[in-house]
Amino acid sequence: MSPEQATGKPVNRRTDLWAFGVTLMEMLTGRRVFFGETISDVIAAVLKTEPDWAALPPDTPASVGRLLRRCLDKDPKRRLESAGDARLELDERDSDGPDVPGPRRPVLVAWLTGVALGLAIGSLATVAWSRFHSRPMSSEAEVTRLSFAPPAGVDLSPDATSAVISPDGRMVVMAIGPWPIGAGLWVRSLDALAPHPLVGTRGGSLPFWSPDGRHVGFFADQKLKTVDLQNGHVEEICAAPNGVGGAWNRDGVILFASTYAGPLLRVAASGGTPAVVVPVAARGRVEGIGSRSSCRTATISSPL
């Protein structure tokens, strides 16, 4: 994932050149360019750290080194503009070191062309996969079962804990009790062995994800709050006494309810004054709010 993708900015073909550079460098070095224990750690490395250029083999041609630096610049405006430019970069003779011997250059160019072709095929496969999985699931769909071991010294009893899978299905956030003044929120990447706590979320309950999976909303201290998974910043959105659930849509709006007998409210994810979306009569109650990122579902019962 390129820096602009990680921060939600517009992407273009220079984003593909970043992916090409990452793939090429990993093939040359035999290891990950950006790595970490969790997805959040990897994204942070993409945004803040430079590739380990010293990891390249000593006999790497200078032209390939230049190509990698032009592909892996964090500023997309400074990257190569197209794959054709990458070919020109390789064809130029090295001014800062010996040129690649004649027999090796055709092999190198063919090899890099194969890498580019592989990326193109991978992109098409990704599109096909996403279209397939956007269709309604059949009754024969595969079921995945996971188990989570509690952190040391923490009780994950059902009445004290809630867990929610991220929109991309790669992480889970858990509210660890005892509710409502418990240990707070913990997050775990599904490819990690253990969860880790989110600082500043003590007493947090009923977590829900932002559509991009970069923030988590929750209730604590009689307020609706959010936490940024990249930098750990916790922000108070609005007052929410006795919050009973929320959901975050793609337009940057959070739907939530403060009490079971109260109205369904909406507020900007950046903060503000809540507004009533669905008023609930004195004897009615909000039974549940859909946790999907679209925020289009709510189950409401009312004598009316």
Stated length of the chain? 304
Q: State how far the Cα of 133 lies from the Cα of 142, in Å rounded to an integer.
A: 12
pLDDT tens column, 125-166 = 555 555 545 545 545 556 666 666 666 666 654 544 578 889
Cβ within 8 Å of residue 9, ≥6 positions away = none
Instruction: Delimit the domains of the chain by residue range.
Output: 3-133, 162-301
Encode burial over 36-56: b for 16+ CB neighbours within 10 A, e otherwise. Answer: bebbbebbbbbeeeebeeeee
Average pLDDT over the chain, rounded to whole?
Answer: 76
Task: Examine the pLDDT at 173 and tell me if it is beyond 80.
Answer: yes
How far, in whole angstroms, is CA 302 from its chain's centroid? 38
Question: Can you say how many angstroms the Cα of residue 265 is from the centroid of all Cα atoms in its chain?
Answer: 27
For domain 3-133, say whether CATH 1.10.510.10 is its number: yes
3-state secondary structure of 173: strand
For residue 47 the two structure tokens come to: 């945004």
**pLDDT tens profile 195-210:** 888 888 888 888 999 9
CA distances from 275 to 212, 249, 250, 257 (A): 24, 15, 18, 11
Looking at residue 61, its pLDDT comes to 87
Token output for 84: 């054709």
Q: What are phi and psi of 48, to 5 degrees?
A: -115, -25
The first and second tokens of residue 290, run together, are 């859909």
The span from the CA of 51 to the CA of 71, in Å, is: 11
For the cut 70, the answer to whether the pLDDT of residue 248 exceeds it is: yes
CATH class of 162-301: mainly beta
110: pLDDT strictly greater than 90? no
Q: What pTM was estimated for this model as a whole?
A: 0.46
